[in-house]
Amino acid sequence: MGPALAASLQLAGHRPVAVSAVSETSRRRAGQMLPDVPVLSPAEVLQRSELVLLTVPDDALPELVSGLADTGAVRPGQLLVHTSGRYGAKVLDPALRAGALPLALHPAMTFTGTPVDVQRLAGCSFGVTAPEELRLAAEALVIEMGGEPEWIAEENRPLYHAALALGANHLVTLVAQSLELLRTAGVEAPDRMLGPLLGAALDNALRSGDAALTGPVARGDAGTVAAHVTELRRHAPGPSPAIWRWPARPPTAPSPTAC
């Protein structure tokens, strides 16, 4: 995530001055997306920067912030931005006591570590948590990266992050399972078959929620649903996924797009 956000800020006129990268993969990614930007230690990055992006795993963030503050790496007036969805601004309190300005800016996007990530930030929502006096600064940074700020209360950050993980990871699991079952059924290009269907289903669900259900569930075709359960138990043994829910109202005539 770090190189993508830094590259987006660079496009907006900011100048990246340093990056920290430990693994060979992260070094290669930094070189690809931030060419000519020196790779330095975290302390050296903070020494050179007015705006610092902390793009580390959630579990590593509190210790990193405390360590930087305890060693005097944090400077007064420095904007310190973390990108964790789990934490709000309070995790940056050690740096705040050292005079830093804390912001939590979490892009609601999945990242690949390639330049395509920069394009995906256009129109991406950011979960933002910051002190009241830094709201304008937080909004400006998100907008410069092409995103849309969405304010999340400090106490709601864990729920906010859980909701995003629930949606994204369930989607990946369901798609992977559907691809596998279609291959088992003899479909040669399951991705091509699923793409338009799932794209339309996602769009309908975002617009209408549960009312977007179609097919045998919406029609009330209990026999078809039972046949589906039988096939899934045969080809995907294990607990049956709870993927069906009967409509709250009597089924109507199927629409032309039902499948």
Q: Are 169 and 140 part of one and the same domain? A: no
Q: Are 112 and 181 part of one and the same domain? A: no
E-strand stretches of 136-237: 148-151
Q: Are 54 and 143 part of one and the same domain? A: yes
Q: Are 78 and 126 part of one and the same domain? A: yes
Q: Are 21 and 74 part of one and the same domain? A: yes
C-alpha of 90 from chain center? 21
Q: Which domain holds residue 64?
A: 2-152
Q: Are 184 and 203 part of one and the same domain? A: yes
Query: Residue 241: inside a domain, yes or no?
Result: no
State the CATH number of the domain containing residue 14.
3.40.50.720
Query: Residue 17: inside a domain, yes or no?
Result: yes
Taking the C-alpha atoms of residue 41 and residue 46, their distance in angstroms, rounded to an integer, is 9
Q: Are 170 and 49 part of one and the same domain? A: no
Last residue of one domain, picked from the residues 109, 126, 152: 152
Q: Are 147 and 195 part of one and the same domain? A: no
- The confidence score (pLDDT) of residue 59 equals 96
Last residue of one domain, picked from the residues 123, 152, 181: 152
Q: Are 198 and 123 part of one and the same domain? A: no
pTM exceeds 0.95, yes or no: no
Query: Residue 12: inside a domain, yes or no?
Result: yes
Q: Are 125 and 175 part of one and the same domain? A: no
- The confidence score (pLDDT) of residue 254 equals 38
Give tens-digit pLDDT for 240-259.
444 444 444 444 433 333 33
Please give the tally of structural domains in the chain.
2
Taking only the tens of pLDDT, the chain with its 259 residues reads 899 999 999 999 999 999 998 888 888 988 889 999 999 999 999 999 999 999 999 999 999 999 999 999 999 999 999 999 999 999 999 999 999 999 999 999 999 888 899 999 999 999 999 999 999 999 999 999 999 999 999 999 999 999 999 999 999 999 999 999 999 999 999 999 999 999 999 999 999 998 888 888 778 888 888 888 888 888 876 654 444 444 444 444 333 333 3
Give tens-digit pLDDT for 195-251.
999 999 999 999 999 888 888 877 888 888 888 888 888 887 665 444 444 444 444
Query: Residue 242: inside a domain, yes or no?
Result: no
Query: Residue 47: inside a domain, yes or no?
Result: yes
Last residue of one domain, picked from the residues 91, 121, 152: 152
Query: Residue 76: inside a domain, yes or no?
Result: yes
Query: Residue 249: inside a domain, yes or no?
Result: no
- The confidence score (pLDDT) of residue 230 equals 84
CA angle 169–170–171, rounded 5-degree value: 90
β-sheet with 101-107: strand ranges across: 51-54, 79-82, 101-107, 125-129, 148-151
Average pLDDT over all residues of the chain? 88
Q: Are 17 and 91 part of one and the same domain? A: yes
38: left (phi over 0), alpha (psi -120 to 50) or beta: beta
- The confidence score (pLDDT) of residue 238 equals 62
Query: Residue 253: inside a domain, yes or no?
Result: no
Q: Are 94 and 6 part of one and the same domain? A: yes
